[in-house]
Amino acid sequence: MELIADLDGWSLERLIELTEIPAPPFLEEVRGRRFAELLNENGADSVWTDAVGNVIGLRRGRTGERTIGFGGHLDTVFPEGTDVTVRQSGDTLWAPGIGDDTRGLVLVLTVLRAMEETGIETDDDVIFVGVVGEEGLGDLRGMKELFSPTADTPDVWIEVDGGNLVRLVTMGLGSVRYRVTVTGPGGHSWGAFGLANPAHALSRAVGFFQDVADTLTRAGARTSYNVGRIGGGTSVNSIPFESWMEVDMRSVSPESLGRIERAFLAAVDRGLAAENALRRDGPALTVDKDKIGDRPSGEGDPSSPLVQRALATTAIFGVEGVLSRSSTDSNIPISLGVPAVTIGRGGAGGAGHAPGEYWVNRDAHLAIQRALMLVVAEAGLAGPIS
């Protein structure tokens, strides 16, 4: 465990290096290549990139009867062109994405390096993974690939995401997201008055949806909805030829999520029909309902060996772990009944998903030590530590 404290300087160097390699959604390849090099340099027996871009390093166990998955996500929320230069003052580092989840990637690498330098051998295989597509419209595509029916899926998954030692995510918050686009002929607001208006149809749809969704979200399993973006049109004096909106719905319950999704789709159809019925001229509006996000919910078993080990290794540091719910890469294995937990990256920080994101190197080695103990406990210690 002293070695991890000794690796603090190395970890910080890797944190700055990886943070300054941009990894916008769907553009993780360059950072992924460097992550692969670091896996090779620090103890992985073999390294490869899968069909969607996940970077995977295998450290073989003595028996290899099971595979323990251990990873963080390569992507950040920030778009291409964002300045990701790291600024440092004392123990504080500022840069977009430096915490979420670049520090998680560095924790994964540091655990691998510590296992290699101390000669730790495990019974089970461990794969160290840089996962693509966790943020936003990435829609957990990396995890969906890792746990697809045709993949050689891990038997257990440990994700590094989030901040402190306390929070242990063992329950998945499900969500569905839609981009709805209504199209029509468009025209001058005066000269073509009477044509069906896509913006009016969307407005009606939102109103119809909220009337039903308000009732659905006031009782039962916690459920939410949000019209997050809406747009279209070319000028104030033009009937839009296209209007669109993006909508997010979430629930702790798959059944409740299904109900509010069906209510939304019905409201869109109703709004379209209402606007078409009012038109005085021209063709009817059409609609495209594009599902742009689908993250399953799920309940992990709090009595599973993995969760109990996560609680026990956290308690070693005088911290009582709290089992929590969130939307993380662990949603996928949890929804499939595979034991999974998301643990924190440690240190301190704030302003996540904002340009002013920062991370403070405050007792960050504790999170790495906890992660090392959890991985080794789950994979089984196969021999003495040098």
CATH number where 232 lies:
3.30.70.360
Average pLDDT over residues 36-59: 98
pLDDT surpassing 60 at residue 386: no
pLDDT surpassing 90 at residue 78: yes
pLDDT surpassing 90 at residue 358: yes
Residues 107 and 246 in one domain: no
The percentage of residues in the chain with a pLDDT greater than 70, rounded to a whole number, is 99
Residues 285 and 355 in one domain: no
Domain count, the chain: 2
Residues 272 and 291 in one domain: yes
Which residue matches tokens 């390294």?
47
Residues 343 and 254 in one domain: no
Q: What is the pLDDT of residue 296?
A: 97
The β-bridge relationship of strands 55-59 and 125-131 is antiparallel
* Domain assignment of residue 181, yes or no: yes
pLDDT surpassing 80 at residue 385: no
Q: What is the pLDDT of residue 295?
A: 98
Q: What is the pLDDT of residue 345?
A: 97
Last residue of one domain, picked from the residues 262, 295, 328: 295
Residues 6+ apart with CB under 8 A from 316: 370, 373
* Domain assignment of residue 30, yes or no: yes
Q: Which structural domain, as residue segments, surrounds residue 155?
A: 2-173+297-379
pLDDT band at 10 (very low <50, low <70, confident <90, very high): very high
Residues 136 and 232 in one domain: no
Residues 108 and 124 in one domain: yes
Last residue of one domain, picked from the residues 276, 295, 314: 295
pLDDT band at 383 (very low <50, low <70, confident <90, very high): confident
Q: What is the pLDDT of residue 2?
A: 76
CATH number at residue 361: 3.40.630.10
Q: What is the pLDDT of residue 37?
A: 99
* Domain assignment of residue 34, yes or no: yes
Last residue of one domain, picked from the residues 295, 325, 355: 295
Average pLDDT over residues 322-332: 97
Average pLDDT over residues 33-37: 99
Residues 47 and 184 in one domain: no
* Domain assignment of residue 384, yes or no: no
The whole-angstrom distance between residue 266's C-alpha and the CA centroid of its chain comes to 29
The percentage of residues in the chain with a pLDDT greater than 90, rounded to a whole number, is 96
Residues 7 and 129 in one domain: yes
Residues 164 and 195 in one domain: no
Residues 143 and 165 in one domain: yes
Which residue matches tokens 């009477």?
194
* Domain assignment of residue 386, yes or no: no
Residues 104 and 184 in one domain: no
Residues 120 and 108 in one domain: yes
pLDDT in tens, 243-297: 999 999 999 999 999 999 999 999 999 999 999 999 999 999 999 999 999 999 9
* Domain assignment of residue 127, yes or no: yes
pLDDT surpassing 70 at residue 384: no
* Domain assignment of residue 17, yes or no: yes
Average pLDDT over residues 117-145: 98
Phi, psi dihedral angles at 23 (to 5 degrees) = -145, 65
* Domain assignment of residue 385, yes or no: no
pLDDT in tens, 199-229: 999 999 999 999 999 999 999 999 999 999 9
